[in-house]
Structures are given as C-alpha cells and as structure tokens.
Structure 1
Amino acid sequence: MIEDIRICFIGDSFVQGVGDPEYRGWVGRVLETGGGDITAFNLGIRRNTSEDVVSRCWQEVLPRMLPGADNRLVISFGSNDMVEENGAVRVDPVRCLENLISILDECRRRAVTPLVVGPPPVISAGAEHLERTVKLAEEMNDLCDAQRIPFIATTLRLADNLVWTREVLAGDGAHPSSGGYRQLADLILAGQWQRWIAQAHS
C-alpha cells in the first residue's frame, strides 16, 4: 500500500458535521481509526445538493491531490436533493445520479479512488422525503455495484437508529449531535471503509 494517502471528503452538511459540538462529525471519527499516513480534507458545505457538489468538485479537489500519492475521494450527497421546495424536489433523482456518474467518471480519468457514502435521512422532512431518499440510495448502490465502487448505505439504518433520531429531534430536525455522528461513523467503519483504505492504489 502507498503510504501517502490523500482523501478529500466532499458533500453536504452531514459531511461537514453540522450540529456536532465536538466539531468532528463522522469524518473526524472515521479518521481516528487510522490506516496509513492519511492527509484528509473536509469539503462539506451546508445545503449543498449534488448539483452544487459536481460544479465545485474538481476545482477544490485537484489542488489537494499530489502526483504520485494515493489520491482518494469520498462522495456523499442526496439528502438535500430530495428535499421538496415550491412543490418539487430540489434536484431530480435522475439528475442526481448523473452528477454522481460524472464525478465517478472523472475519478477514473484522474486515477482517484472513490468511495460513496449514501445520503442520511432528514428526520424532520417526513415520510415522503425518507421514501425518496431510500429509493435514491438504492439506485446509487446499484450504480456503484455496476462500477465496482464501494457504497455504504446509511439511510434506513439511521432512520431506525434511536440515538440518531433522538439527537436530531432535540436539535434542528436534520443534524445529530456527537452521539449521532458516532453512530454514522460506526456504520461506515462496519461497511467497506477498512477494506477500501487497505486496498492497493489502482
């Protein structure tokens, strides 16, 4: 394994870790497990949709990559896409998937190793939002499976997680506190994270 691993985490407020009084979110907690000489960059922005992420992705990621290093990208979006505003979702699910494909295709061209974390639920957005987000996550999973890219599902697991839902409802209705982010980090660590970190750079 190449020792110099550079990982950019790009996405929305869940990537940013909004609501965590410890300012670590799930990204910081996952990185605590180590797994090589990792230089990490959190590029999460609150309210970002997949449209926002795809438009800024490479202008933010490329300056943080290093020729000859093991350059990687963790992508997580979709929760904001499925929020309904003015009678329509912010981003159509088909367009959201196209944005994911665009980023993954560019990863392949630039020899950047990707991992996709599925969209967490927005508890206060209600059952219809959850249904849309679950369907989107399933389609993301299928897309990643077809390209042999690791995908970590979070939506239903967090919707059924008492720590996550309790902290979200005690807060702003969308973001948990430190305990909820610990739950999300544990899901990621129990998924394909360690295998992804250990894999040889392609």
Structure 2
Amino acid sequence: MSAYAAEQTGRRRICVIGDELVAGVGDARGLGWTGRVAARTRSDEVLEYYPLPVPNETTTALSARWETECNRRFGPGENRLVVAPGSADLRHGVTLARSRLNLANVLDDASARQIPTFVLGPPPRTDTDAAAQAELSTAFSDVCSRRGVPYVETYAPLADHEQWLADLASSGGTHPEQAGYGLLTWLVLHNGWHDWLGIPQDD
C-alpha cells in the first residue's frame, strides 16, 4: 500500500445530503449548521465533511442522486452519510407514503453498503402548512426508528421557538439566519451526534 493510500484509509468522510439549509443559506457567517457542527466536533481522527445541497429538493430527487454524488467523495477509509431532508415534498405534492418510502430506500441502500447514517428532520417553515410539517417529521422519525438510525427532531422544539420564528420572519419564512443555525447545531450535537461517531462529547 502506498503512503497516500495508507493516509486515506485512516480518514472518515461524512457526506451531508439535503436541501439549501445544508448550504447555510441565510447565514451571514456562511457556516450554516454543517459548518458549526464540524467546528464543534473534536476527534483524534481526521473528519472530512462534504455538504451536498440542492435547493428545495424533494426526497424523490434526493434518493435518486445521493449514491452517485457521495460515491465521488467516499474513499477507502470510513464513510458516513447524514441525510437532512427538508419539507419540499409538501410543496411539490409528494405523498406522505412516498416521502416515507424515499427516505427508507436511502437508509436501506446505505445499510446494504455498510454506510452508517444519521438523519436531521425538517425544521419549521412559515410558508408551509404546520400540521403537514409535523406529520412529515413524525413519519421520518418512524422510518428511522424502525431501522435503528439516529433521528434529530427539529420541528417540535423549534415550531414555537421565539428566536427561530424571528429568523423566519426576516427571511420570508423559508430559512433561518445565524441564530437559527445555532439552534439546529445545538439540536444535532445534543441528540446522538457524538455517539453516532463514537467519539466523546466536549463538556
């Protein structure tokens, strides 16, 4: 094995696939929750993060592209997948059953390839029906629970959160700003992220 190949084997590559929130749209610091989580995650191993967002993406489109895009970033070391579906399905007429199936297909395909997965649920938006958003988040949670995949519920804790709603009011209801991304970061870091990576959590 070459020195380069040996170095790559020791790396952990994490692909994050989802909608525009994965890109941190609306964050003046340009970090979003992905950058903040990366900055707050300490590991003796090299962790490489590859955000792969598509604005307003449905789970149908996400399930069709994740493997091809992630394959270009995955390497001979340990590969992991974070799935962060938004609520675009509700605005594009995707049925709840299809949304469940799309996420299930991604998780099952990743499992078949022995790629550990972690799912961040869709956070609230004020331009989309609230009851439907809650139902979608519950459905995604159930899909993950049945497969033993960590799921971070974001809708319930943020639906009535004053700062989150203030951020949405400034953006037309579609995305958070700096404070909102900080809230998403906190939810990720305090709902199984370090356990999923198998590393200790900082105090």
What's the TM-score, normalizing by structure 2?
Answer: 0.88
Aligned position for 2:75: 66
Give the counterpart letter for 1:4 in structure 2: R
Aligned position for 1:167: 167
Unaligned 5+ runs, structure 2:
1-8
Q: Which one has the largest radius of gyration? A: 2
CA distance in 1, matches of 2:162, 2:37: 20
CA distance in 1, matches of 2:198, 2:160: 30
Q: Aligned pair 1:82/2:90, yes or no? A: yes
Query: Does the Cα contact within 8 Å between 1:15 and 1:76 map onto a contact in 2?
Result: yes
Aligned position for 1:180: 180
CA distance in 2, matches of 1:51, 1:113: 21
Q: Aligned pair 1:15/2:16, yes or no? A: no
CA distance in 2, matches of 1:51, 1:123: 23
For residues 160-193 of structure 1, give each alpha carbon's deviation from its aligned partner in whole angstroms, at most 9, with x where no partner exists.
Answer: 2111110110123211111110011111111111
Unaligned 5+ runs, structure 1:
84-88
Show structure 1 runs of 4+ deviating over 3 A: none
Q: Aligned residues, how many?
A: 189
State the shift of 1:5 in Å. Answer: 1.2
What's the TM-score, normalizing by structure 1?
Answer: 0.89
Aligned position for 1:24: 31
Q: Aligned pair 1:44/2:53, yes or no? A: yes
Matches within 5 A, 1:94-173: 94-125=97-128, 129-173=129-173
Helix, strand or coil at the partner of 2:81: strand
State the shift of 1:140 in Å. Answer: 1.4
State the shift of 1:35 in Å. Answer: 3.2
Aligned position for 2:13: 6
Aligned position for 1:91: 94
Change (3 A) 1:3 1:192: farther
Question: Which of 57, 60, 64 is matched with 2:66 structurally?
Answer: 57
For residues 83-105 of structure 1, give each alpha carbon's deviation from its aligned partner in whole angstroms, at most 9, with x where no partner exists.
Answer: 2xxxxx53111111111111111
Query: Does the Cα contact within 8 Å between 1:9 and 1:74 map onto a contact in 2?
Result: yes
